Amino acid sequence: MLASFALALESYRTHLEAGRGYSKHTVKGYLTDLEDLVDYLEVQGISTPAEIDLELLRAWLYTLSERNLAKSSMARKTASARSFTAWLFEHGQLANDPGLRLRTPKATRTLPKVATREAMSEIFASLEAAAVEGSPVALRDLLVVELLYATGARVSELAGLNLSDVDESRRLLIVTGKGNKQRMIPYGVPAESALKNWLERGRPSMVTSKTSFELLINSQGKRLGTRQIYEVVAQALVGTAVGVAGPHTLRHTAATHLLDGGADLRAVQELLGHASLGTTQIYTHVSIERLKDGYKSAHPRA
């Protein structure tokens, strides 16, 4: 990679991490997309960011479409390019911002997988039966599923919780979401019971010299990672109609069940930490589809 592009990407990385507060995973995604763009530009004989124009960006996207990339991938790469050119323009490295005229391919939106209320009841019955024996791991796993379903938190938000992030008196969690934005999420009585059992009977027996203030820990006493949480959830969901799925399915399920129960859409938006109400509205479609299915199966003239 030419020095001019390498320097621009490194400065942009700093902007994303420090200025925007993005996670390492998000920053890596942006940079991977932009490295692909830079590779294309260098093949075309472009040696500095100042030479980027709309036609080059469109040509790059065309080569990506030739690879038969999914619309969602195309949309993400387009967004990465637009964000980069906007930053270059703001910092005087482009005379104008060609990304403003770059159209984003609309991704095909599929409805998220959602577990039924009955399936969740069966899952909790199984987890609670295992926790009765007092195994620290069983107590922790029950809490993991309880909190994900009770709060709709992202897996990274759950994994990042410390003891100080739990307000037991008011049954609230303080989670740090995208862009390092914090929000408070309530949880119910079942999650409160699971939390109490974990703190009193489970966590103390798993604490080691490596443990600090993490709420959820593994058998080595270290913070429970997102991959380990995925395994817990996948195991819990394996016997349901949803099949093997990760923590995001419980987030989808929580949001859908809230709307089914009459929760306000904006309240669900706040609970999930969505910046846009449009992101939350996908769950109204899920609820409508469930309503249609129930109507077709129950109404004699459906």
Domains assigned to the chain: 3-101 (1.10.150.130), 117-297 (1.10.443.10)
Residue 36 clears pLDDT 90, i.e. is over it: yes
Judge whether 248 counts as a catalytic residue. Answer: yes
Of 76, 77, 82, 154, the active-site residue reads 154
Residue 266: predicted pLDDT: 87
The two structure tokens encoding residue 24: 């390492």
Structure tokens at 144: 């993991």
Please give the DSSP secondary-structure letter assigned to residue 217.
Answer: B
∠ CA 293-296-299, rounded to 5°: 130
Q: Give the residue ranges of DSSP H helices in the chain.
A: 3-14, 24-43, 54-66, 71-90, 117-132, 136-151, 155-159, 189-197, 203-206, 226-237, 247-260, 265-272, 277-280, 282-298
Give the range among 16-20, 21-25, 197-201, 288-292 with minimum mean pLDDT.
Answer: 288-292
What is the DSSP code (8-state) at residue 105?
Answer: P
**Which listed residue (171, 178, 183, 290) is catalytic?**
178
pLDDT of residue 302 exceeding 60: no
Average pLDDT, the chain: 89
Set 203, 251, 252, 257: catalytic member: 251
Q: Which amino acid is residue 87, in one-letter code?
A: W
C-alpha span between 124 and 164 (Å, rounded): 26
Structure tokens at 128: 């609670």
Q: Which residue is listed with tokens 């109490």?
A: 196
Residue 294 confidence (pLDDT) above 70: no
The question of whether 283 is a catalytic residue gets the answer: yes
User: Residue 172 has which token pair?
Assistant: 């609230």
Confidence of residue 24 (pLDDT cuts 50, 70, 90): confident
| Confidence band for 300, pLDDT divided at 50, 70 and 90 | low
Does 183 participate in catalysis according to the annotation?
Answer: no
- The per-residue pLDDT for 295 is 53
230 among known catalytic residues: no
The 8-class DSSP code of residue 214 comes to B
Mean pLDDT of 143-168: 95
pLDDT digits (tens, 9 = 90+) for 101-121: 888 766 556 667 889 999 999
Band of pLDDT at residue 81, cut at 50, 70 and 90: very high
Residue among 12, 30, 187, 283 flagged as catalytic? 283
CA–CA dist 149, 134 (Å, integer):
22
